Chain A
Amino acid sequence: MEQPEECFDPLQFAVDLDLTKSTDENTDEKVYISKSLIDRANGSSYIELASTKVTCAIYGPRETSSSSDESYSKCLLETSIKFSPFGRQKRIDPLLVQYDNDDDCEEAELCSRLEEALLPCILLHKYPKSQIDIIIDVIEDDGQHLLSAIILSATVALIDACIELYDTVVAKSLKRDQSLFTLCYMPNLAQVSCLFFDGEATPAELDVLTDEAVKQCQLLHKAICKVVISDLKAAVTSNGKII
């Protein structure tokens, strides 16, 4: 084998990576929300929460292939989550088949959590004999905000697709010494859609976490409203329609 014409020392391309994260994760978390990226989908969104980046595409309500009795009266929800191979510190093999009884089936677990969080908020009875497909692509995962970014991106994409919702579901993840707490909150109805907790805590600590998560959810809700309404205004003025 011939050697290439020019050779470089690999160390000259090494970037100084500061892998020690600050323990104070709750300050300076930036949020970026964008919608209507994918033309072919009914609705789509892209969310950045700190360094977690997630994109979501919604197809539907479209004809369902299921012939069960349940599908006749209301809409079915199908979710699918896929990680990019470069999404985490350690490379994820995209061709690795994960079996259902495997402990490591993270994609399936995230799918079921997403369904649990979204099912109470969609008006399913308005779309009989149809199914809504939610396809989520995780571009980068920083370990803390994944579930909340997934739920937020699904909500923004549902709003973009004009699917009728009872309320906007806002999710916030908090990390306290190795335990991860995620709360899905509906601000206008003041109801918790669901709550996920991995780790150990006393009930008093859980109360404190819930209160703080609710406050931060309300801030996130304001960010979503601002993005949605400014997009609506821009769409109306670009179409030239006078209200």
Chain B
Amino acid sequence: MSSSEYYCVPGDRLCPCDRAIAGQGTYEKQNCIYASIAGTIQLTAVDQSSTNPDKKPTIAVVRQDRSLAVPSVGSLAYCKVTNVTSRFVRCLIFAINNQPLKTPCHGRITRENIESFNKDSIVCSTKFRPDDIVLARIISLGDANAYLLSTAEENLGVIAARSMAGEKLIPFSDCQMTCPITNTPEPRKVAKIQSELTDEVSKLA
């Protein structure tokens, strides 16, 4: 991936359509690719084994100092649980894909989307509690009130929570977390920590 010293403003014509594919921060109009944000132009080198039949490079415009966090289908959302009912869990999304949002959005995890197995026999209060920090994925734009989220993957779920005693809970297994002071187990849908991060987490505990 090579980026250049070339800066552009929205509306600058970058190249004709047959030379490259329009990437992030660009749009196509009348057989030409134009920039849609202000930033530096980045050309992604073409992959030899890619499935793209034309083998064209991707041209994108990237803004180095800041970027806009927009909730879109398929992106990871960091949220804080506000309500737990018998049918769904309501939460407040405060970051998308590692970028904080300036104003939080509302999200909802329905009972069927919490786990990928045993979907009908789940009790929501054994999976999430209010004030838990949860990593979820946006699966749909939902309705006017909330985005629809899902934690039905191994690495999604509760990443930080407080126990009844007020201490930070330590993950024990994929369905349990323990309080370090009182040693009581509490049921949660725990997110699996990736192997690269287990060393760092064990240093914290």
Which of A67, A189, A233 is in CB contact (< 8 Å) with B7? A233
The complex places the Cα of A239 from the Cα of B64 at a distance, in Å, of 9
Please state if A159 and B70 are interface contacts (CB–CB under 8 Å): no
- Contact flags (1/0) for A55-75 with B, using CB distance below 8 Å? 000010111101100011000
Please state if A67 and B144 are interface contacts (CB–CB under 8 Å): yes
- Contact flags (1/0) for A227-243 with B, using CB distance below 8 Å? 01100110110010101
Please state if B103 and A63 are interface contacts (CB–CB under 8 Å): yes
Chain B CB within 8 A of A40 CB: yes
Contacting chain B: which of A7-15, A126-134, A173-181?
A126-134
A150-180 CB contacts (< 8 Å) to partner B: 159, 161-168
Chain A CB within 8 A of B5 CB: yes
CB-based nearest A residue for B4: A243
B9-54 CB contacts (< 8 Å) to partner A: 9-13, 25, 27, 29, 34, 36-40
The complex places the Cα of A224 from the Cα of B11 at a distance, in Å, of 13
Please state if B68 and A163 are interface contacts (CB–CB under 8 Å): yes
How many A-B contacts at CB < 8 Å in the complex? 99
Please state if B11 and A232 are interface contacts (CB–CB under 8 Å): no
Chain A CB within 8 A of B85 CB: no
B81-132 CB contacts (< 8 Å) to partner A: 101-103, 105-106
The complex places the Cα of A127 from the Cα of B68 at a distance, in Å, of 11
Please state if A235 and B36 are interface contacts (CB–CB under 8 Å): no
Please state if B38 and A228 are interface contacts (CB–CB under 8 Å): yes
Please state if B64 and A42 are interface contacts (CB–CB under 8 Å): no
Contact-residue bracket for chain A: 35 or more
Interface size on B, residues (CB 8 A): 33
Given A162-B37, A243-B40, A186:B11 Cβ within 8 A: yes
Please state if B144 and A188 are interface contacts (CB–CB under 8 Å): no
Residues on B with beta carbons closer than 8 Å to the beta carbon of A186: 11
Which of A63, A123, A162, A168 is in CB contact (< 8 Å) with B66? A162
Which of B13, B27, B102 is in CB contact (< 8 Å) with A164? B27
Q: How far is the CB of B100 from chain A (nearest CB, A)?
A: 12
Residues on A with beta carbons closer than 8 Å to the beta carbon of B105: 62-63
CB-based nearest A residue for B73: A128
Please state if B11 and A188 are interface contacts (CB–CB under 8 Å): yes
Please state if B11 and A165 are interface contacts (CB–CB under 8 Å): yes
The complex places the Cα of A33 from the Cα of B64 at a distance, in Å, of 21
Please state if A40 and B67 are interface contacts (CB–CB under 8 Å): no
Q: How far is the CB of B79 from chain A (nearest CB, A)?
A: 13
Residues on A with beta carbons closer than 8 Å to the beta carbon of B12: 188
The complex places the Cα of A90 from the Cα of B66 at a distance, in Å, of 41
Please state if A166 and B9 are interface contacts (CB–CB under 8 Å): no
Residues on B with beta carbons closer than 8 Å to the beta carbon of A127: 70
Please state if B37 and A130 are interface contacts (CB–CB under 8 Å): no
Given A63-B103, A66-B144, A243-B3, A167:B38 Cβ within 8 A: no
Q: How far is the CB of B104 from chain A (nearest CB, A)?
A: 8
Chain B residues within CB distance 8 Å of chain A: 3-5, 7, 9-13, 25, 27, 29, 34, 36-40, 63-68, 70, 101-103, 105-106, 141, 143-144
